[in-house]
Amino acid sequence: MKREDIDFHYGSLQKKEAEEILRHFLFAEHSSDLTTPGGTGRNLIALASSLGAEDQALTHMVLSIRPDARIFVLDTGRFHNETYELMEATMKRYGMRYEILFPEAAGVEEMESRHGPNLFYKGYEQRKRCCLVRKVQPLRRVLSSLDVWITGLRKEQAVTRNGIEKIAWDEGNGLLKLNPLADWSEEQVWEYIRRNDIPYNRLHDQGYPSIGCAPCTRAVLPGEDLRSGRWWWETPEQKECGLHLINGKLVRSSQ
């Protein structure tokens, strides 16, 4: 699929609000594979939740539209305990269960045996290796079962994300990628969370605007970039884990 194909099929949706975009896709042909030969009935559209503020807002939207929506979490095994507490609180609030994906044990064992448990502090390539094993490879497994991938990416989050679109074609994974909150500000996200009493990670109240693995996340000072606490030892252009990158560039619509 090319950019002009996306514009032709979804051009009018690009200007719609987040809920309208989600409603369209959650009830489109991507909602189930029951009608396909050998179909399992699993939803072919899913929200990838990092359990950040944006994904908590999207969790509320998605489940309000479709209570049986598929939501998965890539559990790296190195989350803050506050993140696990949020998972429990969210499942209780919405009466749902996350689809949890872990990295392959053999890959983690080999990586840490060779490079040590905190290899990510030793250089950019080592950090990418850890993200590949713990996040990117598990993501590829689940994306292979999907037609549509929903994310909480926003343009305002980082310099690497200012060109994202609400609906894009992910060339590397061969599926549609929805970024319904692409144009939202941080203020809009938090206003939505408070208005709907949505559970959120209490680390946000301790100066953590962006939360990932515990060893790679720290609080930021007032006025600092939203993602400056993620991999703080690297330059802003390197602050992506690889989930949304192909050849070092953020995945956008095909040109």
Residue 60, helix vs strand vs coil: helix
130 is catalytic: no
SS3 content of the chain, % helix, strand, coil (to 5): 45, 10, 45
Q: Which residue has the tokens 């959650």?
A: 26
Instruction: Considering the candidates 130, 213, 216, 241, report the single residue annotated as catalytic.
Output: 241
Q: Phi, psi at residue 162, to the nearest 5°?
A: -75, -5
Q: Residues 175, 149: contact at Cβ < 8 Å?
A: yes
**Amino acid of residue 84:** Y
Tokens representing 110 are 């080999």
- HSE (side-chain half, CA atoms, 13 Å) at 32: 8
Determine the Cα–Cα distance for residues 100 and 77; give it in Å rounded to an integer: 11
Q: What stretch of H or E contains 131?
A: helix 124-131
Q: Catalytic amino acids?
A: 241
